[in-house]
Structure 1
Amino acid sequence: MPRYEVTIEKDACDGIFACLTRDPRFVEGEDGLATVDPDADPVYDCEGEVTDTDERVVATFDDDRIDEAQQAAAACPTDAIAVREVGE
């Protein structure tokens, strides 16, 4: 199964939250911008590593839901979200 990384660049995020409707792991953070919370998905028990700094959010997953993350990234009108495979 591919391992993939989701990155949200906070300076590019405008808090439009189009990503939230594509992937339930995307949520509104305390700063009013998008972030990733693996526990926010009500359907799947999801595990992932999330690092949230002043500049960006980086989440790494090794599940089969890369398509959902890519749909969330494609929905972002400011291109603040990137998804890339980082290995097996």
Structure 2
Amino acid sequence: MTRYEVILEKAPCDGIFACLTRDPRFVEAADGLATIDPDADPVYDCEGEVVESRGRIVAAFDDDRIGEAEQAARACPTNAITVREVSE
């Protein structure tokens, strides 16, 4: 399986939520913008580490769902989402 990070920059996020329809780990946060919650998708038993700091959310995953994260990133009209593979 691939280890990857999903990085969400809060400042450019405008709350259109195109990401939510591509990857259910993206959810609406209390501030009306997107956030990442690995427990939000009841279909998959998804484990991930999510860290938020200074307007940036970084979620690390070790599963086969990188394609969903990449679709969410491509759908984001403000380019607020980046997906990158990371080495162990």
Same fold (TM over 0.5): yes
TM-score normalized with structure 2 length: 0.95
Alpha-carbon RMSD across the aligned residues, in angstroms, is 0.9
Q: Which runs of 5+ in 2 are unaligned?
A: none
TM-score under structure 1 length normalisation: 0.95
Counterpart Cα distance in 2 of 1:27 and 1:50: 13
Matched residue, 2:85: 85
Structure having the larger proportion of residues in helix: 1
2:73 is aligned to 73
Q: Gaps spanning 5+ residues in structure 1: where?
A: none
Provide the residue aligned with 2:60 in structure 1: 60
Aligned residues: 88
- Percent identity of paired positions between Structure 1 and Structure 2: 76
Distance in 2 separating the partners of 1:28 and 1:53: 17
- 2:13 is paired with a residue whose SS is coil
Moved over 4 A (4+): none
